[in-house]
Amino acid sequence: MKLKDKRIAILATDGFEQSELFEPLEALKNEGATVDIVSNKEREITAWNKTDWGKSINVDTTVDSAHVLNYDALVLPGGLMNPDILRIHTVAVNFVKAFFERHKPVAAICHAPWLLINADVIDGRKVTSYKSIKKDVINAGGLWEDKEVVVDNGLVTSRNPDDLPAFCSKIIEEVLEGKHEGQHA
């Protein structure tokens, strides 16, 4: 129960990659963390599970009502639709940016670095992502690496669902380390 006093936000909307939300959620809860599903929608959101709609999950709070000061870290699941919808939602992008401004850990997998790009927080940082958005990451100033997990001062990124074990372990490690004084916005 390493994270029993920690509260973590998972920001997602319809179309999140099912495993990329549920596996980190389970790993964080297993370590005792309180985890809130934060969304641009109320009530519930539905996963995309490889080739079709998957499981739904209840939303704990909307991003309009969520505040960075209530959380120790942020997790951004991927999928194609989820980050593409959220990256044009101004409040969601500002929510992401606020974690960087307060030097709190952020974890993004798959296509979720699109949100980091729109929040203007990856310039000069080591990151990875799903291979199809590699050029987007590089064009935004990210230092793209082809590794299962890349950590840069509290920013944890991974490529795809195959990387989830390493991704979840690094999230827990970064939350335990807490604030990252060297982290820049």
The answer to whether the CB of 170 falls within 8 A of the CB of 184 is no
> Which residues make beta-bridge pairs with 47?
16
CA-to-CA distance for 102 and 183, rounded, in angstroms? 9
Instruction: Provide the total of helices (H) and of strands (E) in the chain, helices listed first.
Output: 6, 12
Residue 1 exposed, middle or buried by CB count within 10 Å (0-12, 13-18, 19+): exposed
110 is catalytic: yes
* Residue 111 known to be catalytic: yes
- 110, 23 in Cβ contact below 8 A? no
Give the integer Cα–Cα distance in Å for 75 and 37: 10
Catalytic residue, from 89, 110, 168, 180: name it.
110
Q: Which of 111, 168, 180, 184 is catalytic?
A: 111
CA-to-CA dists, residue 88 to 55, 62, 149, angstroms = 24, 16, 26
Catalytic site positions = 110-111
